[in-house]
Amino acid sequence: MDAFFTADEIAFRDEVRAFIRENLPTDLAQKTRDGIHLAREDMARWNTILDKRGWAVHHWPTEYGGPGWTPIQRFIFEAECASADAPPLSVFGLYLVGPTIYTFGSSEQRARYLPGIRSGEAFWCQGYSEPDAGSDLAAVRTTARKVEGGWIIDGSKAWTSEGHFADLMICLARTNPNVKPQTGLSLFIVDMKAKGISLQPVITIDSGHSVNTTFMDSVFVPDDGLIGGVDKGWTYAKFLLSHERTNNAQVHRSRREFTRLKDLAAALPGSGGRRLIDEPAMCRRFTLVEANLVSLEVTVLRILADQTEGREPGPEASIVKIIGSELQQRITELAMEVLGEEGVKVEHEGDSLLAQEAQGWTKRHLFRRVVTIYAGSNEIQKTIIARSVLGM
């Protein structure tokens, strides 16, 4: 991708690469290679290292602690972190809640919450989806009732990722049932240790625990826990989701996983003395995924170029979310073909290369089934594209 970057940007890449090489703990890199569901302590440790360098909130404006990088510099930084197997930082606080608070929150909320997000001391989760309101957020049934000094929230939230170790939740709740569904919602900051909150773990198909169902029974939220104005939550929710969908392209992590998969296929024997990756059918599969991955990288760079000129993503966020999530699944599907029978074994015995790699790839393949659902299912994203781009 060097052809896309200037000499200054390549020099910046070299600076970032050297910093990561010198400061990324080897055990954190190994944990990132081995698993999907990292512990809070692992993400926080890398967050702290980056914060000391001033790079933890690399995409925030300088007035809120960001380093003042261009969108292309942020792309390069994220690519280098992924390539080095640096732990992913917690998405919710850094990428979703932080920008929402510094854009729509009060000065008091910015002063209170942004430092903890930046340092990695405070972890957040997102209370949007519900059992009967997934991609259709206008159907949210969780209610917030005004009382003296604050609000009482009742309801439940589904698929609360990282909720079991989050300190705070950004919660979408209905404050006005007598208007159009989209115009009666508000956005709140909820303390996850507040009285009336309980969580039920949801174990995903890969046997991992990253998501939960959250129940709120008469949870009190003080007045200063309301973000922005009453009944304005739909506007704030759409802002947050546009950031989430662009981030969920996951182009850098997909590139890293694909590189690892190519290395694995190149190390395994095929037929007739060839490497597995050189088998004609396998070679075609790898070439097709490579072409799609390059196309996604170029598309993301085009969006970043627009952002450099002050244009925020519109339907492009839905486009890269669809392409990126489907590509994540195609990479792990290809991994299952590379692994063959080893990929479907319950137990992986021995010290062969296949046995060593199989468990991690199988878990990734199972967990990646969810990526076309969260942040707005791909079917919903296609409807958004049809309406906003094609005029249907």
CB 191 within 8 A of CB 170: no
- For helices 316-339 and 280-308, give the axis angle rounded to 10 degrees: 160
Q: Is 244 among the residues known to form the active site?
A: yes
Strands (DSSP E) along 51-142, which ranges?
124-127
Backbone angles phi, psi at 198, to 5 degrees: -140, 150
Q: What tokens appear for 62 in the block?
A: 């300088």
CB 170 within 8 A of CB 127: yes
First to last CA, the chain: 36
Set 78, 130, 244, 297: catalytic member: 244
d(CA 358, CA 93): 32
Q: Which amino acid is at 278?
A: D
Torsion 130-132-134-139 (CA) sign: negative
* Closest C-alpha among 214, 229, 226, 213 to residue 152: 226
DSSP state, residue 93: I
Q: Which amino acid is at 130?
A: E
279: Cα separation from own chain's centroid: 34
The CA-based angle 88-48-200, given to 5 degrees, is 55
> DSSP of 196-207, one letter per residue?
TEEEEEEE-TTS
CB 201 within 8 A of CB 164: yes
**Positions marked catalytic:** 244
